[in-house]
Amino acid sequence: MTMKWMEQELQSLAGEALERKLRDSAPVSGRPGYILRDGQELLNLSSNDYLGLAQHPAIIEAMRTALLTEGAGSGASRLVTGNRTPYRELEDALADWQQCGAALVAANGYMANTGVISALVGRGDVVFSDRLNHASIVDGVALSRAEHARYRHNDMEHLRHLLHKHRGARRKLIVTDTIFSMDGDQALLHELVQLKGQHGAMLMVDEAHSGGIYGGNGEGLCHSLGIHSDIDIHMGTFSKAFGLYGAYVCGSETLVRWLVNRARPFIYSTALPPSILAGISQSLEIVRSESDRRRLLLAASRKFRTMLRDGGFQTSDGDSPIVPVIVGDNAAALRFSAELQEAGIAAVAIRPPTVPEGTARIRFSLSAVHTERELEQAASCIRSIGLKLGVLPL
C-alpha cells in the first residue's frame, strides 16, 4: 500500500496528542459571543471576531444587495475580467483610512503574506523575521527563496547582529507581526523602525491581530504609536476584527503597482466574490466610526488578564484580545480545553508546531460583545480547572 505511511504518521501524531481534528460548530442566533458545538451553547473564547461584527446586520445586508446586483462569483482574476467596481471603491477607502498612497486587496492574509514577500525579495536577499511570526510569513520567505534570518522573539540585539552579518545582501526586509498571534504580546515597533533606518532595510508589518483594534479609527498599532509613515508595507486581514474574509496591503503607489505585476497569488488566482468586497466596505465604515467597540474590547482584555493573574496564571502583558495560558504538555492542554467545553466555554488548545515544543497552551480570544460578568465567570471557571488539572499549584 503506497499510502500506508500516512496512517502510520497519523497514528504517531495521535499518540503524542498532536493530531488535529475538524469539529462542527455554528453561530447561536441572537447570541453574539456564543457558539454551538456538540449540541451545547458555549461562550466563545476561541474566535477572532474581536469587534463582534461577524453577524452585523448592516454587513450582511450590504453583502445580500451586492449578491443580487453583482452575482455570485467574479469569474476571473483581477487582471483578466474580475476587477469589479467594488474593488476600486474599497481600495480608495483603504488608502484613505491607512493614509497611504495606495492599497491592494488580497484574497486572505495567508495569500497576502506569501504574495507580498515573494514579490519583494528573492535569491541574494535576506528576510529578517521574528521567530514567532505567523506561518504565512514563514511560508512567504520559503517561497521567495531569499535567505531566512530568524531572530529570537523581540530580541533586538539578535536582530542587530543578523543585520550586521548580512550587511552585504542585495535587499533586506524586516518583517514582524505587530501583535503575535499565539502570545498576544506586541512587537518592539519603535526599535524596528530605528534598525530599519540604520541598516537600509524595508519594514513590513502584519496587523492581522491589531487592525481594527488600535488607533483612533482602527488603523492599527502602527498608527496608534505614531510610526505608520515609517512602515513600508502594511498588511492586515479582514478575517478577524472586520468579521469577514480577505486582506489588505497598503503602502506607496509604486509598491502596489509592483505587487500587481509580481505578486503571484494576486495574478494567478480568481478575484474575491463582489459580495465579500461590499461586506468589507461596510465593515470598514463600522470599524472607522464605532470606536466604542475598540474601547470595550481593550478594557475587557486588560480586565481578563488581571483576573487570570489574580487567579495565579501567568500570561502575556498588554491589552491585546489574545490571552494565552501556557500549560506545557500537549495532552494536558487538550484536557484543559475539553474541561472548558464541559463547563460551557469554547477555547482551543494550541500545540506544536504552531507553538514551540513544551509550550502548548490555551489561547483565549476575546470579543467586544463579551460582558464583564461573562468574563468574570469564565476566569473563575478557568481557575478551578487549572487547580483540578494541576496546572496551578494548590
Instruction: Establish whether 148 is a catalytic residue.
Output: no
> Which residue, 210 or 315, is less far from ligand PMP as judged by CB?
210
Q: CA-to-CA distance for 336 and 353, rounded, in angstroms?
A: 19
Residue 386 dihedral angles phi and psi, to the nearest 5°: -60, -40
Number of residues written out for the chain = 394
At closest approach, how far in Å is the CB of 149 from ligand PMP?
A: 19
Edge-to-edge strand list for the sheet holding 360-365: 322-328, 360-365, 348-350
Closest CB to ligand PMP: residue number: 109
Least distance in angstroms from the C-beta of 211 to ligand PMP? 10
Q: Provide the binding-site residues for ligand PMP, judged by CB under 6 A.
A: 108-110, 113, 134, 136, 177, 181, 206, 208-209, 237, 239, 247
Contact 99, 250 (CB under 8 A): no
Nearest distance, CB of residue 147 and ligand PMP, angstroms: 22
Contact at 8 Å (CB) between 174 and 168?
Answer: no
Exactly one of 47, 74, 118, 181 is catalytic; which is it?
Answer: 181
Amino acid identity at 227? I
176, 209 in Cβ contact below 8 A? no
| H or E segment and range at residue 40 | strand 40-44
In the complex with ligand PMP, which residue's Cβ is closer, 236 or 386? 236
Given 223, 228, 240, 370, the catalytic residue: 240
**Residue closer to ligand PMP, measured from CB, 185 or 206:** 206
From the candidates 209, 223, 228, 370, give the one annotated as an active-site residue.
209
Q: Which is nearer to ligand PMP, 33 or 109 (CB)?
A: 109
Q: How far is the CB of 178 from ligand PMP (least distance, A)?
A: 8
Q: Which is nearer to ligand PMP, 181 or 320 (CB)?
A: 181
Kindly provide the residue ranges of all beta strands, DSSP E only, lying in 133-268, ordered along the sequence: 147-151, 172-177, 202-206, 233-237, 247-251
Residue 267 cell numbers, joined? 495574478
> From CA 348, how far away is CA 273, in angstroms rounded?
30
Whole-number CA gyration radius for the chain: 21
Residue 390: is it exposed, middle or buried by C-beta count within 10 angstroms (0-12/13-18/19+)?
A: exposed
Indicate if 209 belongs to the active site.
yes
110 backbone φψ class: left, alpha, beta (φ>0; ψ -120 to 50) = alpha
Q: Which residues is 35 bridged to in the sheet?
A: 27, 42
Active site residue 181: yes
Question: Which of 385, 380, 368, 394 shows the shortest CA–CA distance to 308?
Answer: 380
What is the nearest approach in angstroms of ligand PMP to the Cβ of residue 112? Answer: 7
> Please, which residue, 133 or 282, has the CB nearer to ligand PMP?
133
Cβ closest to ligand PMP, residue 48 vs residue 391: 48
Tell me the closest approach of the beta carbon of residue 238 to ligand PMP, in angstroms: 7
Write down the least CB distance from residue 200 to ligand PMP, Å. Answer: 26
End-to-end, the C-alpha distance of the chain in Å comes to 51
Catalytic center residues = 181, 209, 240
